[in-house]
């Protein structure tokens, strides 16, 4: 077999996390190559991400990772090494998050508030009057638990009110997630990293339990002692190529997910004056979107069918009438002046979901082969910190460190928080504190 090129590290995938890992490994002096089968960085699931930056996870490490992750976005220009991209840099819109407080227990805020407090993350505990003063377009009733519109209870007159909301002012969203991956590509290229597009990895080469490189659809072979699987919803297929299927306690699979866009109610201008709302009561989240639109995602409530996808290259990419109706009408309950449009607008993409909706950032049983996968619809925000932690983990393991028995602890560059990487290990037991949803 002839070798067509040789690198210190190959990263499979050039989404926001793959590109960030390329950047971190290049900055540390490695010759890297990101390979992606699509035509440009961030064209995979990153492109349809809602790109919300929030801190409302269910576990200590989940919240710590997201708080550290936020600082990368706030410091984007410095982090990238300047104005590196001819297309300009992304905009981090810090519109804040209102996490709605439901009465009667089992409200997500009950898990989150102690963690925000422990980690010293600024938040305000708003009563309902404060929430409605700040965001008068919202209705403060309890409509839940979440139902589908064909359930007659969906339209029942509410009898209770929300308790208010937990407000985190530093939260927000990124204006253009595809551009963020392109920004990272340019930053990576500036420090010597290379990218190759329209090229599919079709095989993982190995000798004596160690990866030696990858094979491409073109028939070429590229060698490298380090290969990182950052293939998003295709991650399980890349692990299968590497012969790793069934070798990890935690597995990943692709889940179809719809996000819808509606115009702001007349006179509300939610696009410029609204905030990100986590509404576990109706089972949706929503945020302002450019052009005075509102973007609506689902918190995957139990009443909604889950559409697992066997083949991530073949799934229905059309917005469905049923899910459109469910998500838009849920928002119409929370925002009574919302007009419900006849024309469906939105995007459909795949989450790469792990068994406990917490990512896997780890080595594997194949020497030199690493994974940053299982991002479960909630790791866009962590691209910077996940990449820094992965680069540290890779350095440590390649230097002979026994990460399986003495897990690497990543110290956040910005916050100094200690993040125990065993939380994201491939062989962890399923984390019972997880919400088993996009809330991680
Ligand atoms: C609808 C939706 C909404 C979301 N909203 C949020 C949110 O609000 N906040 C948040 O934090 N997270 C959110 N997420 C999750 C977040 O977007 C993802 O976790 C993140 O974008 C994953 O980035 P990535 O680089 O790991 O993967 P991807 O962007 O999926 O990139 C993987 C790349 O690998 C390439 N690839 C795969 N197989 C091969 C192969 N064999 N050869 C070559 N290339 C290959 C693909 O072409 C792809 O470009 C959302 C996700 C979705 C789908």
Q: Ligand 1 pocket test: which of 50, 62, 65 has the largest number of ligand atoms within 8 Å of its C-beta?
A: 50
Residue 227 has pLDDT above 90, yes or no: yes
Of 345, 338, 350, 333, the residue nearest 261 (C-alpha): 345
Residue 424 has pLDDT above 80, yes or no: yes
Mean pLDDT of 34-47: 98
Residue 439 has pLDDT above 80, yes or no: no
Q: What is the CATH number of domain 5-89+176-251+356-424?
A: 3.50.50.60
Q: Which residues line ligand 1 (CB under 6 A)?
A: 12-18, 35-38, 43-46, 48-52, 200-201, 230-234, 238, 257, 259, 349-351, 375, 377-381
200: CA distance to ligand 1 center in Å? 16
126: CA distance to ligand 1 center in Å? 34
Atom 41 of ligand 1, residue of closest alpha carbon: 201
Band of pLDDT at residue 437, cut at 50, 70 and 90: confident
Residue 432 has pLDDT above 90, yes or no: no
Among the atoms of ligand 1, which is closest to the Cα of residue 233? 30
Q: What is the pLDDT of residues 320-339, one digit of tens each?
A: 999 999 999 999 999 999 98
Other Cβ atoms within 10 Å of 221 Cβ, number? 18
Q: What is the pLDDT of residue 409?
A: 97
C-alpha–C-alpha distance, residues 278 and 299, integer Å: 8
Q: What is the CATH number of domain 97-169+257-349?
A: 3.30.9.10
Q: What is the pLDDT of residue 203?
A: 98
Residue 1 has pLDDT above 60, yes or no: no
- Which tokens is 76 given? 């984007």
Q: What is the pLDDT of residue 2?
A: 63
Band of pLDDT at residue 434, cut at 50, 70 and 90: confident
Q: What is the pLDDT of residue 438?
A: 81
Band of pLDDT at residue 431, cut at 50, 70 and 90: confident
HSE at residue 55, side-chain half, CA atoms within 13 A, is 29
What pTM value is reported for the model? 0.97
Of 41, 1, 45, 37, the residue nearest 380 (C-alpha): 45
Residue 389 has pLDDT above 80, yes or no: yes
Share of the chain above pLDDT 70, in %: 100
Q: What is the pLDDT of residues 41-78, one digit of tens each?
A: 999 999 999 999 999 999 999 999 999 999 999 999 99
- Domain boundaries defined on the chain: 5-89+176-251+356-424, 97-169+257-349
Mean pLDDT of 184-212: 98
| Long-range CB contacts for residues 84-90, cutoff 8 Å, separation at least 24 | 84/183, 84/186, 84/187, 84/190, 85/179, 85/182, 85/183, 85/186, 85/187, 86/186, 87/179, 87/182, 88/179, 89/179, 89/183, 90/174, 90/175, 90/176, 90/177, 90/179, 90/180, 90/183
232: CA distance to ligand 1 center in Å? 5
Task: Give SS3 for 270.
Answer: helix
Measure Cα distances from 394 to 24, 226, 410 in Å.
11, 9, 12
Residue 106 has pLDDT above 90, yes or no: no
Band of pLDDT at residue 423, cut at 50, 70 and 90: very high
- Which tokens is 100 given? 């709605």
Mean pLDDT of 129-139: 97
């Amino acid at each position: 077999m002839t070798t067509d090129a040789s690198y210190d590290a190959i990263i499979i995938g050039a989404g926001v996390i793959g590109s960030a890992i390329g950047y971190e490994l290049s900055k540390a002096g490695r010759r890297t190559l990101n390979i992606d089968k699509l035509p440009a960085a961030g064209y995979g699931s990153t492109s349809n991400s809602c790109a919300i930056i929030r801190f409302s996870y269910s576990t200590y490490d989940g919240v710590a990772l997201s708080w550290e992750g936020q600082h990368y976005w706030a410091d984007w220009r410095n982090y990238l090494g300047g104005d590196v991209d001819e297309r300009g840099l992304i905009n981090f819109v810090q519109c804040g998050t209102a996490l709605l407080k439901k009465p009667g227990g089992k409200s997500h805020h009950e898990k989150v508030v102690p963690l925000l407090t422990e980690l010293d993350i600024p938040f305000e505990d708003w009563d309902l009057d404060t929430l409605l003063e700040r965001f008068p377009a919202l209705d403060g009733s309890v409509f839940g638990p979440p139902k589908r519109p064909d359930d007659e209870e969906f339209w029942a007159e509410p009898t209770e009110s929300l308790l208010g909301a937990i407000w985190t002012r530093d939260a927000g969203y990124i204006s253009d997630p595809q551009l963020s991956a392109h920004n990272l590509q340019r930053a990576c290229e500036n420090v010597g990293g290379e990218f190759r597009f329209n090229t599919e990895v079709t095989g993982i080469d190995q000798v004596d339990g160690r990866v030696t490189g990858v094979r491409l659809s073109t028939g070429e072979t590229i060698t490298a002692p380090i290969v990182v699987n950052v293939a998003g919803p295709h991650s399980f297929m890349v692990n299968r190529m590497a012969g790793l299927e069934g070798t990890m306690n935690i597995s990943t699979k692709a889940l179809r997910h719809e996000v819808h866009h509606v115009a702001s109610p007349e006179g509300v201008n939610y696009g410029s004056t609204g905030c990100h709302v986590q509404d576990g009561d109706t089972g949706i989240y929503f945020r302002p979107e450019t052009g005075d639109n509102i973007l609506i995602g689902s918190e995957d409530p139990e009443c909604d069918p889950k559409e697992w996808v066997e083949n991530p290259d073949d799934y229905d990419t059309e917005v469905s009438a049923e899910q459109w109706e469910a998500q838009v009408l849920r928002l119409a309950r929370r925002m009574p002046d919302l007009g419900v449009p006849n024309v469906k607008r939105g995007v459909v993409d795949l989450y790469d979901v792990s068994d406990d909706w917490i990512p896997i950032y780890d080595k594997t049983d194949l020497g030199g082969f690493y994974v940053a996968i299982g991002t479960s619809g909630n790791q866009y925000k962590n691209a910077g910190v996940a990449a820094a932690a992965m680069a540290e983990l890779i350095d440590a393991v390649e230097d002979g460190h026994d990460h399986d028995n003495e897990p690497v602890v990543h110290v956040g560059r910005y916050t100094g928080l200690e993040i125990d990487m065993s939380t994201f290990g491939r062989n962890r037991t399923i984390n019972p504190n997880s919400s088993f949803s996009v809330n991680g």
